[in-house]
Amino acid sequence: MKKLVNDVHAVVRETLEGFALAHPDLVDVHYSPDYVTRRAPKAEGKVGLVSGGGSGHEPLHAGFVGEGMLDAAVPGAVFTSPTPDPILEATKAADRGAGVLHIVKNYTGDVLNFETAAELADMEDITVATVVVNDDVAVEDSLYTAGRRGVAGTIFVEKIAGAAAERGDSLEEVTRIATKVNDQTRSMGLALGPCTVPHAGKPSFDLGEDEIELGIGIHGEPGYRRGSMESADALVAELYERVRADLGLTEGERVVALVNGMGGTPISELYICFRALAALLKKDGIEIARQMVGNYVTSLEMPGVSVTLMRADDELLELFDAPVATVAWK
């Protein structure tokens, strides 16, 4: 294992320290327990948004803390859910008197620990609502999940719900919008190779020289099949067809399209993948209303890509376009 780290057990702490030094205009980083808040809190009387999960998926979640998105993010150890204590502290920091929405990726540890934190917050008279993101169409009941996993579509929930909270919507309304985004979003990814968790010191799984994993999870969980390496066009077509079919997209509809890198794929290859995705959508008569290409929800240095489509309407696009000021989305 070759990584630019000092101590494999201090990766998250030193990442946070560097993040704080690099972005003092946007975030405040708190330690023991560890969580990140926006530098300029939103106005009193507005709903707060908190998300979090295991580290290793950067820029998710701390990179999306700021005006128009999250009020706080809670990083756990690499690929490990944060405990209830930092989630509670982040919830208290995000509370501006109108309640707090927890946006939780569907992994068993995340769901349980955010649920416990919500119960503790309720004891401190903070009203908490929760939306569980489960946009991955690849598999049901994976290694760490009951039901479908939460993957790259999480950023659409954070962005659109964050915009609704920023404009002053009620907790009930922000929760409705976040739920709508989740309901209208699907994703699927593939891996060309594994990643290595620093404290494990070895690859999370093995793939042959010419082998790929379709439907990979963002922690290296198994997908639905392994196969031989194919062209970018062929692989994107398989991701697209499963996402499109599950979402039930038909001719004349609009989507927000995301081609997301898993951490180890060159941006040039992501653009080749987006080229393929755009052609497939055009062939099916589906309009790309907005598009994003880049590394937003990663798996350390895993080479791979995921495709996310969100069915778009005027309500969601207005919020998608609302002002935002975070490290990873501006």
What pLDDT digit, counting tens, does each position of 314-330 carry? 999 999 999 999 999 98
pLDDT band of 140, cuts 50, 70, 90: confident
Evaluate whether 50 touches 70 at the Cβ level (below 8 Å): yes
Say what the pLDDT of residue 143 is. Answer: 75
Are residues 108 and 223 part of one domain? no
Q: Which two tokens stand for residue 301?
A: 């240095």
Say what the pLDDT of residue 43 is. Answer: 96
Q: What is the mean pLDDT of residues 101-129?
A: 97
Are residues 267 and 143 part of one domain? no
Q: Is 9 a catalytic residue?
A: no
Say what the pLDDT of residue 151 is. Answer: 97
Examine the pLDDT at 276 and tell me if it is beyond 90: yes
Are residues 116 and 195 part of one domain? no
CA distance 289 to 312: 7
What is the strand order of the sheet 27-30 is part of? 27-30, 35-38, 72-78, 48-55, 100-105, 128-133
Examine the pLDDT at 144 and tell me if it is beyond 80: no
Are residues 25 and 171 part of one domain? yes
Are residues 137 and 198 part of one domain? no
CA distance 158 to 83: 21
Taking all residues of the chain, what is their mean pLDDT, rounded to a whole number? 97
CA-based nearest residue to 70, from 182, 180, 155? 155
Q: What is the mean pLDDT of residues 112-122?
A: 98
Instruction: Please name the residues in contact with 270: beta carbons below 8 A apart, sequence gap of 6 or more.
Output: 259, 260, 261, 293, 294, 305
Residue 121: which CATH number? 3.40.50.10440
Say what the pLDDT of residue 141 is. Answer: 80
Say what the pLDDT of residue 306 is. Answer: 98
pLDDT band of 235, cuts 50, 70, 90: very high
CA distance 217 to 214: 9
Q: Which two tokens stand for residue 330?
A: 């501006």
Examine the pLDDT at 249 and tell me if it is beyond 90: yes
2 assigned to some structural domain: no
Which of these is catalytic: 23, 30, 57, 102? 57
Examine the pLDDT at 142 and tell me if it is beyond 80: no
Say what the pLDDT of residue 127 is. Answer: 98
Give tens-digit pLDDT for 56-103.
999 999 999 999 999 999 999 999 999 999 999 999 999 999 999 999
Q: What is the mean pLDDT of residues 189-202?
A: 95
Are residues 258 and 303 part of one domain? yes
Q: φ and ψ at 163, to 5 degrees? A: -65, -40
Which of these is catalytic: 23, 61, 102, 219? 219
CA distance 289 to 295: 20
Domain that holds residue 210: 185-313
Are residues 291 and 206 part of one domain? yes
Query: How many domains does the chain divide into?
Result: 2
* Cα dihedral across residues 122, 124, 126, 128: positive or negative: negative
330 assigned to some structural domain: no
CA distance 330 to 313: 22
β-sheet bridge partners, residue 102: 50, 130
pLDDT band of 124, cuts 50, 70, 90: very high
324 assigned to some structural domain: no
Q: What is the mean pLDDT of residues 13-38?
A: 98
Examine the pLDDT at 145 and tell me if it is beyond 90: no
Are residues 208 and 147 part of one domain? no
Last residue of a domain, one of 131, 148, 183: 183
Are residues 174 and 73 part of one domain? yes
Instruction: Please name the residues in contact with 62: beta carbons below 8 A apart, sequence gap of 6 or more.
Output: 16, 19, 27, 36, 73, 75, 327
Q: What is the mean pLDDT of residues 292-307?
A: 98
- Say how many C-beta atoms besides its own lie within 10 A of residue 225's C-beta: 12
Examine the pLDDT at 116 and tell me if it is beyond 80: yes
Last residue of a domain, one of 140, 164, 183: 183
Are residues 287 and 196 part of one domain? yes
Q: What is the mean pLDDT of residues 185-193?
A: 98
257 assigned to some structural domain: yes
Say what the pLDDT of residue 21 is. Answer: 98
Q: Is 219 a catalytic residue?
A: yes
- Look at phi and psi of residue 80 and say left if phi exceeds 0, alpha if psi is from -120 to 50, else beta: beta
Say what the pLDDT of residue 146 is. Answer: 84
* CA 27 distance to own-chain centroid: 18
What percent of the chain lies above the pLDDT cut of 70?
100
Are residues 283 and 241 part of one domain? yes
Examine the pLDDT at 217 and tell me if it is beyond 90: yes
Are residues 189 and 175 part of one domain? no
pLDDT band of 212, cuts 50, 70, 90: very high
Q: φ and ψ at 98, to 5 degrees? A: -120, 15
What pTM was estimated for this model as a whole? 0.97
